[in-house]
Chain A
Amino acid sequence: MQGENAESPPVTALDLNTMPTWRARLARVLALALLLAAAGSPGGAEEVGKEEMRSLDEQVQEIKSDVLGIAAELGQLEEKLLYPSNTQVAVFVSLAEGETFRLDSVQVHIDGEPVAHHIYSFKELEALQKGGVQRIYTGNVATGEHRLDVAIAGKKGGSDVSAKQDWSFRKEAEPKLVGITLAGDGSRIELGSW
């Protein structure tokens, strides 16, 4: 190919014949493909079969629906079996709106016993900062008065921050949900108003 193209006249307008043969072939294909991709043409290997793909996609959707249904029932069963409402206690962690300190870890003690210790990944921290609430612990306690201790550690502007707080709470017959909100750049731990 090089021989014939080497002798070609100077190109003044796009003439695919003046390019190497392999390039001329590709130029047509690539330029067209690029524009069609933008305009909405199918891309990739289409020969696998649109119908096959569609039917598979629908089958996967049905399986997802089915598995979600099983998960829901299983969740109820687990809760009944492992955390019955008369003993269930759950602790949730959230960040106050606008908090930007880097939360590294949260430790939870109930009645002096360590029950949860979580170290946060970037994704988890981001989810908390966006307003998500983390269930950090689910367990069982007897009806009556209990003590909850929460300790946190993190960083703000390169400096370490930490805080500790304890509260008492009363467990009644219904499930006890305790919400903890971290505020003041990691200097305050507040019991949520849930």
Chain B
Amino acid sequence: MTPTWIRAIASGLAVVLLAAATAAEDLRDLHFGEALYEAYQEHWFESLERLDAEIAQHYRVDEPQLDSLYAHIGSAEFDVGDFELRYRMHHRAGRAIRAVLEADVAEPIRNEAAFRLARIHFQKDQPHEAMHALERIHGEIPDEIRDDIEFLRANVYMALGRPADAVKVLDDLQGDGELEGFSAYNLGIALLQAGRERDAVTQLDRAGQVSSGDPATLAIRDKSNLVLGTLLFEASAFGPSQSALDRVRLEGPFSNQALLRAGWADASAQNFERALVPWSILAEREPTDAAAQEARLALPYAYSKLDVHGRAALLYGRAVEAFGAQLEKIDASLDSIQEGEFLEALVREEIRQDKDWVIRLRSLPEAPETYYLMSLMASHDFQTALQNYLDLEDMRKKLVAWQRSFDAFDDLVELRRRYYEPLLPGVDREFRRLDARMRLRLEQRKHLARRLEHLLIAPRPEHLATADEQRFSAALDGIEARLAESSGADDAELQQRVRHLRGALRWSLETQYHERLTEAHRHLHELNQDVEALDAQYVAFVRTRQAATHSYAHYEAPIENLRARVTQAQERLEIAMKRQGHVLESVAKQELKLRRDRLEAYQNEARFAFADSYDRAAKAQAAK
């Protein structure tokens, strides 16, 4: 199994990569930015929900290069994998990154994908597969991941039991700014595994003196000093052991263990007076902490070695009481677990809002089930199980809310149906009538346009006659017809006048022809604008009409389908939650029973030691 600290580093790297991958680019796609907004808040479900939808949409469009996600699609594909990894969906993350790896992509991108895939395998305790993925890296490597790749390679070598190879890789990484503390510590451990104890001590001493302001680096520096102190202690080098342990910060994740060991280093060197200092500090610390519990026994032991038996007896007596109180707490915790309250406490929403919720849980007087949660959290299996349980609980809440929303959707659809269905037949009738009139007018307009176009090729002035001119021409036709049938004396003169008038009419039509044609085109153009406005109104009406139907029609099947899927998911989830909860309870009970056994042993030791010290103190008193 991969150690917790390596996993923590690897997931830390994932965040760094996520930030590096996306922040450098100018954001062009709002939905991608939205997914990042959720991801930066570690809302992995929501970020995946949005990014999945956006990528799917991108691949659906006809011309992806015109889509706003086009500029980010490379990062988006990687980010999906990262988000899935952070959401502990290793299978999907692996698939997403493998897809990039298999695609026809540039060498740096393929190498980055291989690195990410290796990281996933490593996190899944598959070091052979991780090494295989790392072996696919060759050619151009992006600068920002060059050291991360080597750091991962060294971790994989260690996981494969090849510490000598890890040493070679880590040697080259020394001095790297970002990974300095981690690579220095790992090199020390690799040397230790390779059987080079002397070199390991030198290296851990170096790792224990790295200067940094970064909390993670400071923590790993503390751990280097703690491991070094323990190694030296076991080699009976109590002075150097003490120096290393003294470098561990007084407030930090390893301070309690360091204080305890520092005391033992002093005690082993028969310097019991000095041992009192770290143990006195530690004995006052969190009573559920294993090191603090041991210090409560170690402190009177040091006093007894200094022949201060009265003080030793007093402290042993207090230790008996303190262990008794802790045993009661453990029993209360075990009872709470038995009654199912442990799982309820874990999912308290108000507590989970707080970043330090685990610590807060311990201080809640009404929550005995969580007193020992901090020590349980040290186990990776428990952490994974807990995180899975919390994820399941989040999904359970979502599913419950969705199930409720289906009822609201049903109501909404029904309300819309009741509103629109009686209205729409009347609207449709009126629309059909207007539609018929519109089509007729549009046909007339088309006809006019055709005629005007024809006039450009074959001029027909009479076609542009005004209504008066047409009446006038028709009147002349009538007169001419009547003259043709009569035989009066002045017919010739009249016919002459008609010809004259027709000539005048023709003159007007011929001379004004171009002007009239231009005018007719202007009018047709004006008509076009009206027709366009009419068309827009028509389209808007059709769209609104469709929207009215779409607002209530054809929802039954998808809602029912989703309702059924949610129900199925709820059933599966309930079973998984029960199993996961059982695992959590079992791990917690197991751990608590171990703690209980140890506390009982401590209490017995303290009782005997109390009696012994009491006797010695009484004898000393009597001897005075």
Q: Which residues of A contact B384 (CB under 8 A)?
A: 53, 57
Instruction: Give a binary string over B330-373; 1 marks a CB under 8 Å from any A CB, 0 the rest.
Output: 00000000000000000000000000000000000000000000
Contacts of B6 in A (CB 8 A): 40
Given contacts A35-B192, A74-B562, A75-B53, contact A65 B89 (CB under 8 A): yes
Separation of A120 and B385 alpha carbons in the complex (Å): 32
The docked-state distance in angstroms from the alpha carbon of A32 to that of B413 is 66
- Asked if A135 contacts B569 (CB within 8 A), the reply is no
Distance between A18 CB and nearest chain B CB, rounded to angstroms? 8
Distance, CA A23 to CA B22, complexed state (A): 53
Contact with A along B298-323 (1 / 0, CB 8 A): 10010011000000000000000000
Chain B, residues 47-64, CB within 8 Å of chain A (1/0): the string is 011001100100000000
Contact digits for A125-168, partner B, Cβ 8 Å, 1 yes 0 no: 01110111111000000010000000000000000000000000
CB pair B40 A126 closer than 8 Å: yes
Instruction: Establish whether residues B36 and A61, one from each chain, have CB atoms under 8 Å apart when the complex forms.
Output: no
Does B495 have its Cβ within 8 Å of any Cβ on chain A? no
Return the chain A residue nearest B561 by Cβ. A73
CB atoms of A194 and B30 under 8 A apart: yes
Q: Kindly list chain B residues whose C-beta atoms are within 8 Å of the C-beta of A56.
A: 385, 388, 576, 579-580, 583
Q: Which of A10, A22, A31, A179 contacts B270 (CB 8 A)?
A: A10
Contact, CB under 8 Å: A64 / B395:
yes
Residues of A within 8 A of B91 (CB): 58, 61, 65
Binds B, one of A79-87, A100-108, A110-118, A183-191: A79-87
Q: How many cross-chain pairs have Cβ atoms below 8 Å apart between A and B? A: 256
CA distance A62 to B575 in the complex (A): 13
Q: Separation in Å of the B107 CB from the closest CB of chain A? A: 27
- Which residues on B are within 8 Å of A, measured CB to CB? 1-6, 19, 22-23, 27-30, 33-34, 36-41, 45, 48-49, 52-53, 56, 68, 87-92, 158-159, 185, 189, 192-193, 223, 226-227, 230-231, 233-236, 257, 264, 267-270, 294, 297-298, 301, 304-305, 378-382, 384-385, 388, 391-392, 395, 398-399, 402, 405, 409, 412-413, 540, 543-544, 547, 550-551, 555, 558-559, 562, 565-566, 569, 572-573, 576, 579-580, 583, 586-587, 590-591, 601-602, 605, 608-609, 612-613
Q: A64 near B304 (CB under 8 angstroms)?
A: no
Residues of chain A with a CB closer than 8 A to B23's CB: 130-131
Interface string of A58-73 (1 = CB under 8 A from B): 1111111111101111
What residues of B have a CB within 8 angstroms of the CB of A78 in the complex?
A: 405
Query: Which A170-190 residues sit within 8 Å CB-CB of chain B?
Result: 173, 177, 179
Supposing A6-B304, A45-B590, A74-B402 touch, asked if A63 and B30 sit within 8 A by C-beta, the answer is no
Q: A72-B49, A124-B41, A132-B36 are in contact. List 5 more A-B contacts (CB 8 A).
A: A41-B3, A45-B586, A56-B583, A70-B565, A131-B22
